[in-house]
Structure 1
Amino acid sequence: MKLGVFTVLFSDMDLDEMLDHVASKGIEAVELGTGGYPGNAHCKIDELIGQKDKQQAFLEKISSRGLIISALSCHANPLHPQKDIAEEADLLFNKTVQLAHELGVSVVNTFSGCPGDHENAKYPNWPVSPWPNDYQEILKWQWEEKIIPYWQEKAAYAEQYNVKIGLELHGGFSVHTPANLLRLREQCGPAIGANLDPSHMWWQGIDPVESIKILGRENAIHHFHAKDTIIDQPNVNRYGITDMTPYSEMKERAWYFRTVGFGHESKVWADMISALRLYDYDYVVSIEHEDGLMSIDEGFTKAIDTLKPVMVEESIKEMWWV
């Protein structure tokens, strides 16, 4: 396994400065944003796509520092009911898959998206209750008319380029739990998998180790994010887990993101790493920093300090004791 970083947190650095910085910290892989919510600070897709010479120079910058690209990420909402937003996200996804193929990157990360509740809707509608029955009708329409048809087409597109799709299981989007992911994968095929982020499991009340087992049994983990979450139970009692308090109002929130090790101790992270290996995930653990209590570099450094000792870098080839 390799320790990586989602480089969006260093968007104020240019590519060379960022690569030097993360390599100096012992990072082995970079996950690069190509647009959408993560931005494209370190991977200008329109400058690289179809440009072999520029791609070679780009890859040389990365490999010369002992790094690989774990994924290209274009998190957006391709199912947004406003067509201009959806079309922009869809075009970005297609370009990102093509560029991933040209660069030899195996995974493209994104969100599943979330549609509206009818053809003329203006905003996404994320049903979180089975009753009143209107919500069940909305959910059925979304999956049958929007989610499954779109991702069937995109899974086939990605397979043409030998690229896997890592959908981040994130609240607010239609695919946000292991069950959602496996439902879509059953309809669309193995190109669909998870970019599994435990921080989003915790606040939904899902044990990340168990989510790894559920998805791992189906070989459905394509990429893994490392980000922590703290649950503030008194605020949960007040607001519930679907808390709409702004992220910036941390004292009032039911839960908020922390850097690795500041929501859950290292043993919990060791259990997750072990579960990943038990279910044959031997790829990258990519640090994502969204901690409102410490600087980017301090949070990044502390995440490395927590993860380095529990990473399984070399798996045993044979059980010599049996």
Structure 2
Amino acid sequence: MKLPGHDAIARQADEHLVTHRVRLPRKVVERPIRQVAKRLLLALAVLVATALIVYADHDGYNDNSDRAVDLLDAFYYATVTLSTTGYGDITPVSDSARFTNIFVITPLRVLFLIILVGTTLEVLTERTREEWRLNRWRSTLRDHTVVVGFGTKGRSAIQTVCATGLKKEQVVVVDPSSKVIEAATSEGYVGVVGDATRSEVLKRAEVHRARQIIIATQRDDTAVLVTLTARQLNRGAKIVAAVREEENAPLLQQSGADAVITSASAAGRLLGLSVLSPAAAMVMEDLIQQGSGLDMIERPVVKAEVGKTPRETEDLVVSVVRGHRVLGYDDQAVGTLQLTDRLITIVRASPGAQVAPDVRPLRQE
């Protein structure tokens, strides 16, 4: 398959020098304008409170110009005192005024300065805090799931794996669009902005330590390049990729994908089935939706089932996985079940139930 336009995309990325950053999910914060407005109002409140305190004890203050301290002088004194200017033209002379300056106005001055420089301190500490969170995330991330592409297919795939009990912190989304990554982080996923065909981008997603990789790109040629890069970085991960055209599926498998889903042909088959049998199409759609109605899972054979035929088990067995072969339930080669076999069964979904680690849901959208 020819890979059109990839060189141009790579050149464009080089020209713009896009910085690939890992974005951790964060809580929604207020807009900067609202934060600044709140700080200004709080600073103004401190200023007014200080002026009123001074005016309440104005007899204990001395003004070098006219000896008397009125309300305007109180605001003037509060302003120069809180800003640490201190011209010295108005001074506390009584014991009560000096006591108030020590135990009341001085803490208000500190609070006033903290409010004014709070934004600057927040900016200075933001980078350190983000680096600490990123280093902590990298040190604890193991056996996670990397999803390349956060479109309809990628979202559906994430919803499916998370419905089986996978935590959102164990999902890393890779997409070239900053807006798409912002949407992913707002939903609680870790995001990496960049072209997933580049190894440095996948390394930022810690793909070399991932357990499974879902490739849901919009173009088939991109899916091939991402699969090649991911397989080179991680030989043991399970890679599942989606393609639009069925003719490109063998190329994905040759590139290292363990399973390839053809989205266009799958949708077409479901449409055709809906025409022939709407009820059968409803059952298929139910199987596709994880966590409701019927679920298709892969599980190991338990000791009580060893020596039995697939029909004799309590679950509805569809296929038997023996080694690298997938055998139908009625295949004569199955014979009786062995302890090393795995069963693909259809079970009734239990919403909210945790799936055992050795049980695998069989569906990717």
TM-score scaled to structure 1, two decimals? 0.29
Higher relative contact order (CA 8 A, sep 6+): 1
Relative to total residues, which structure has the larger helix share, 1 or 2? 2
Structure (1 or 2) with the larger CA radius of gyration: 2
